Structure 1
């Protein structure tokens, strides 16, 4: 590009300073709430009201013509520093979070938004996608440390047209990192809590590095906690860094790094029968014995991940702006399980192995082993857009490119005499092999996913009060893969395209009120595992297909906002229509955890989201939110050669009612917060013949600012109580089933029931934190 290249020179300074940054001390913790950060730029001034500041940090003013909720640093800094992003947004309307541990370290967690699952929610951090490229999941324990998060935006039901995500009918969670401080400084947080939880966090801000105009921060955290139930413990080390330079009125360039290294325990999901019989004692075993496949070390998951994001904004002239966001994602990890192997009678795909395998520790031809589910991902992409202000029109045009590889292997690793795996990472060079040296694997595939998109949007200011937005996004997704197991399948290729129109209208009623309406479209391709054959005992038990139908949805919203000096509120009515609704679940096949997708046919849902923030006095705020949701399946579910009579039933994992309350207080000496969440009944089967009961959780915090008693530098002492009422409940649906009870199909056949499984709600925990700025 030759156009205005001199504007890019300052941005280029970011990269060499990665090698020149020098750690320094002292940190100014004054946080910018940035209430309009992350909101869609509508081309006119956002609503501004002067009154009491928002001490709750849960309803910053929004201007986009769609439903948006947010939490900012005022709320985040009062919560337990161990919490992850999913736990933090749980209080916002529509968000239903099922956590298996109070500290948010385990990957055994789930989230739904307006009844739509975790693989239907896009997640961005500094504009870079965090979702898994093959399965669309995001893992909140890998995200940035909460001390570095400035704001989390929750967009229920829609995403920005330039967002690099697919499969986001449920909406989007967008994390913004705190900018590096103008002055040199440091922050140290030390925490200790229940279950021998220990956490240390250190952040250093450089201020301006020399005369480069670049400033940066670098942070490191180390977290360890025993499992709150059962044997085992979790460990997490994390590094965040951000380099930033700004110039002129609206030019900025930054690059952010987030590295996570963790070994976390898996909490076993439970069926209703096991829950009634055992309750919270349903755990993995603390000790290893001969034949014991329930030993906790066989379910301990190690993962390493690196995320890099480099957003750039350059004003090419007074009407034309260039935005570019490049990103990179790398990760490797193992989700293991305990199983058995025999020296003879094994299959590799459909091939019977004539020669016995070398199986260390085998007795009578059989041995316990660790089954590995290893994934190694690489993903790189870029979003580039130009925005032109031409009179009443604000026109945006851009391109998106994304390339990713996913190497998935289910292999086996031998165990030592004490039950510890020889290699907990499941690396192939230490895995069990066939007599002729091939990797013995249940699954062995590599998938390349290439996504290309183009978008065009126009935001039209028809008057000072009335605006209309229209846009069109075209997306093509190509998957190419290779199945390395012997059998009828080798190379696969799947390609799908979609045109996704959208429109919105907004009307400002005075200076503090807004009415908006919108219509959005979305689609998602099937998860990559649906493309491959799966084998058991030499037989194809699940046949992959490249002719699967995409999920397609149309959503609409009608909303109202009011932003006053003491009172702010937002009400949004919404409606969804789905075709080929894809619902993920987990199957157990010979000990291996097999992901599967159920096509639930067509579905409709509608409901109302509401949130209110009241600030009666300076330093005190109250927040209330809620959702009423109604869902309806429009088709019977095909099962075998018959149909299950599911038409008219409710969707799974879609509570009809959710309510939350939050409060925050800070008088300059004492501070505290409260977060209460109630979740209604949730069905776990398409026949609605099994469900979990409503439940509520309560988090509290109390603290004191000690700076005035010491040297004037920020020093805070805080105590957090997580889930203080400690209800013994099932917190969410882990895997759905078609029907729990035997049911007669439409064609008269008996369709046998199968038990769904659930997350066991986490226990109570207390965390004390001493925070000190230098």
Structure 2
């Protein structure tokens, strides 16, 4: 809703509400006598157990609701626009992961978690059972001034964000109450100048932050075979904070060009390592200290010519760790190492065609090799992937506006590659900063998707 208050004043308010629901699962072998948190379960009498063990599944159900509003008061006078506002959000997340027996066909008795395995007292055993509430309050102020017939634009702004988290963990022996609060100041400035009708140079300096994410930041993951935590919630994480500067040039015309150099300085860099606990793959969130990232980006695209539009982009990135990272009782000598999963070169190129009815594009992406450990002693190989899209867009049919049918060909050459992974501190045994032996562990990788065909039919109304 937007209200014109007169005298150049405009009040805009945007309320919103969202709901998410879903489920996932993972499995393990379960002993006949186990634990629900720290409490013994008694004989679980799991169907199909052999030699005192049975395969079971943790069925993870979650519900999220997000409610909030954003209010902005804007005042325009002459060449100046001043804005002030307030943003509030309430995030409510409930997640339960009861263990279920598997049927003779190897599937869960009930995917939605309605047939849990019970203790001798009738209580469902769970991997975790958590209720998380997050509240956000933010105040912001910005001012934009235009000069020289709007060729020169100056902007400065400031936002102050306050967040509060509180989780209730209901598994016996878990931290019943766990929470944290955070507040971050976020200033920013930018300048842009039109050299010509088609050319603009710009500079911006900004700050940003990112709170630790993932349910395992606020709740513990329990193994029903022992009264101990399989994966403890993170206790040393802080908000990731970054300061960025970017200087660039944009050109519009027959050929559109965008080029920039950038510098990012991060503190409390959020990262993760992955390893197996009890046969389950678990990601552990860690504070990776400071990181400095610098590089160059260039992109070129041709305005449609005889319905064809080629495109190419290139990025060079040099990202380094600023700190030695803690590992148990010692630190690994990681300061100055190349940051994990930071490819030095990334190239994208494509060709599009669209005459209003027939459309399509071919797209290729190349990503150079990346280190997958903080000690730079294991590597994710370089890879290239190509995709093709073909389709036909029809004329309007009754209520359907521009209905279309589309074919997507994924990984055209069926290239076998590793697309991403979970890092580790070191792949080889090394000496820590204080002389302790730190045992290496190989990082785990995600296999990239193979050849695939996807047909879709869509329409506007």
TM-score, scaled relative to structure 2: 0.90
- Tell me if the contact between 2:58 and 2:126 (Cα under 8 Å) persists in the aligned partners: no
- SS of 2:303's partner is strand
In the other structure, the counterpart of 1:743 is 430
Q: 5 Å matches for 1:285-684?
A: 312-317=1-6, 319-344=8-33, 346-353=34-41, 355-427=42-114, 430-464=115-149, 465-487=151-173, 489-527=175-213, 528-536=215-223, 537-540=226-229, 543-544=232-233, 548-564=237-253, 566-615=254-303, 617-667=305-355, 670-684=358-372
- Compute the displacement of 1:669 (Å): 6.5
Please point out which of 685, 691, 697 is paired with 2:385: 697
Pair 1:595–1:449, CA change in 2 (3 A): farther
2:133 and 2:4 map into 1 onto residues whose CA distance is 36
Q: Which has the higher contact order (CA 8 A, sep 6+)?
A: 1
Partner Cα separation in structure 2 for residue 680 and residue 582 of structure 1: 22
Write the distance in 1 (CA, Å) between the matches of 2:243 and 2:88. 24
User: Is the 2:216–2:234 contact (alpha carbons within 8 Å) kept by the matching residues of 1?
Assistant: no
Following superposition, the deviation at residue 562 of structure 1 comes to: 0.7
Paired with 1:636 and 1:540, the residues of 2 have a C-alpha distance of 27
Q: Is this contact kept in 1: 2:234–2:285, CA < 8 A? A: no
Separation (CA, whole Å) in 2 of partners of 1:486 and 1:770:
50
| TM-fit CA distance, 1:705 | 6.5
Which string of whole-angstrom CA distances, capped at 9 and with x for unpartnered residues, describes residues 233-265 of structure 1? xxxxxxxxxxxxxxxxxxxxxxxxxxxxxxxxx
Q: How does 1:80-95 map to 2 (within 5 A)?
A: none
Distance 2:347 2:233 in 1: 41
Is residue 359–residue 432 contact of structure 1 (8 Å, CA) maintained in 2? Answer: yes
CA distance in 1, matches of 2:181, 2:88: 15
More displaced, 453-462 or 587-596?
Answer: 587-596
**1:3-152 equivalences in 2 (<5 Å):** none
Q: Which stretch of structure 1 is more off in the superposition, 723-732 or 500-509? A: 723-732
Indicate if the aligned counterparts of 1:568 and 1:614 stay in contact, CA closer than 8 A. Answer: yes
Q: Does the residue aligned with 1:373 lie in a helix, a strand or coil?
A: strand
Aligned to 2:435, what secondary structure does the other structure show?
A: coil
Q: Does 1:729 align with 2:414?
A: no
The structure-2 alpha-carbon separation of the partners of 1:410 and 1:717, relative to structure 1 and needing over 3 Å to count, comes to closer
User: Residue 411 of structure 1: CA displacement?
Assistant: 2.1
1:408: Cα distance to partner? Answer: 2.5
Cα gap change, 1:318/1:665 in structure 2, threshold over 3 Å: closer, same or farther? farther
Distance in 2 between the 1:506 and 1:556 partners?
Answer: 14
State the SS of the aligned residue for 2:449.
Answer: coil
Q: Secondary structure at the match of 2:43?
A: coil
Query: Do the aligned residues in 2 keep the contact of 1:371 with 1:592 (CA within 8 Å)?
Result: no
1:165-205: per-residue Cα shift (whole Å, max 9, x none)?
xxxxxxxxxxxxxxxxxxxxxxxxxxxxxxxxxxxxxxxxx
Report the count of equivalent residues: 453
Give the root-mean-square deviation of aligned CA atoms.
2.6
By percentage of residues, which structure has more strand?
2
More helix by share: 1
Q: Is the 8 A contact 2:128 2:220 kept in 1?
A: no
- Shift in CA distance, 668/480, structure 1 to aligned 2, threshold 3 Å: closer
* Distance in 2, Cα, partners of 1:608 & 1:329: 38
- Aligned-residue offset at 1:652: 1.1
1:113-153 per-residue CA deviation (whole Å, 9 max, x = no partner) reads: xxxxxxxxxxxxxxxxxxxxxxxxxxxxxxxxxxxxxxxxx
- 1:424, CA displacement in angstroms? 1.0
**Structure 1 unaligned spans of 5+:** 1-311, 708-712
Cα contact 2:275–2:444 (8 A) shared by 1 = no
Distance 1:376 1:770 in 2: 30
What is the 5 A alignment of 1:202-241?
Answer: none
**Alignment partners' CA distance in 1, 2:206 and 2:335:** 25
- Check 1:629–1:690 CA distance in 2 against 1; reply closer, same or farther (3 A cut): same
Distance 1:704 1:394 in 2: 45
Q: Is the 8 A contact 1:337 1:591 kept in 2?
A: no
